[in-house]
Structure 1
Amino acid sequence: MNKAQFVELVQKNGDYKTKVEAENAIKAFTEAVTEALVAKKDISLVGFGSFAASLQKGKSGKVPGTDKTYTTQDKMVPKFKAGKSLKDRVAAGK
C-alpha cells in the first residue's frame, strides 16, 4: 500500500471530508511520534502497540574477502512492539 492509498483508507476510516484532512492527521501523528522519540519518551497505545527509542550498541566486524575491519558507533534507533489486539486481528486476517 502506498501513501496515497493509505491516505484514502484513513479518510474512509476516520470519517474525514477530504484527503487533505486525512493527510494532515497522518502527518500530525508521525510528527508527534517522532518528537516524542527524539526526546527519548516512550509512547504506549493500548491494544495497538508501543513506540520506543532504544540504544543500539556499536559493533565491529570484518569486510568479507579482505582483511579490513570496521566499527560502528552506538546510536539511538526507533522500535515498535505490536500490542495483543493488533497481533490478534492480523493473525485472524489470514
Structure 2
Amino acid sequence: MIKSELVQKLAEQNPHLYQRDVENVVNAILRTISDALARGDRVELRGFGIFSVKKRGARTGRNPKTGDLVAVSEKVVPVFKTGKEMRQRLNPASPKKRKRATAGATAISRLVEA
C-alpha cells in the first residue's frame, strides 16, 4: 500500500472528512515521526511497533565492480520493530506442539518411577 492508497482508504472509512483533510492528517503524522527520528528520538505506537534510529559505525567496504577498498563513513539508519499485537496478527496462533522429553529427562523420570 502506498500513501495515496492509505489516504483513500481512510477517506472511505471516514466519509464525514474531506480527502484533502485526511491527506493533511497522514502527512502530519508521517512528518512528526520523521522529525522525531531526525532528533534521535524513538516513536512508539502501541500495538503497531517502534520506530527508532541506529548508528552504524564507519567501516571499510569493497567496490563490488573493481574490488578496491572503500572507506564507508558512519551513518544513522531508521529501524522498525513490530509490536506484540502486530506480530500476533501476522502470525496467527497455531496449535502448540508438545515438547519431546530429552534423554536426560527420560532417564530421570525412569529413576523416579522405579
Q: Return the TM-score normalized by structure 2.
A: 0.69
Q: What pairs up with 1:45-60 in 2 under 5 angstroms?
A: 45-60=45-60
Higher Rg of the two aligned structures: 2
Amino acid across the alignment from 2:39: A
The alpha-carbon distance between structure 1 residues 25 and 60, as it changes in their structure 2 partners (threshold 3 A), is: same
In the alignment of these two chains, the number of paired residues is: 91
Identify the residue that residue 7 of structure 1 maps to in structure 2: 7
Where does structure 2 lack aligned partners over 5 or more consecutive residues? 93-114
Q: Is 1:23 equivalent to 2:32 in the alignment?
A: no
Q: Comparing 59-68 with 20-29, which one deviates more in the overlay? A: 59-68
- How far the C-alpha of 1:67 sits from its partner, in A, is 4.8
Q: Return the TM-score normalized by structure 1.
A: 0.82
Identify the residue that residue 110 of structure 2 maps to in structure 1: none
Name the CA distance, whole Å, in 1 between partners of 2:38 and 2:84: 26
Name the CA distance, whole Å, in 1 between partners of 2:80 and 2:50: 6
- How far the C-alpha of 1:4 sits from its partner, in A, is 2.2
**Cα RMSD between the aligned structures?**
1.8
Determine what percentage of the aligned residue pairs are the same residue: 26
Which secondary structure state, in structure 2, belongs to the residue aligned with residue 40 of structure 1?
Answer: coil
* Cα deviation digits, residues 36-79 of structure 1 (max 9, x gap): 11111111111111111110122212224535210111111111
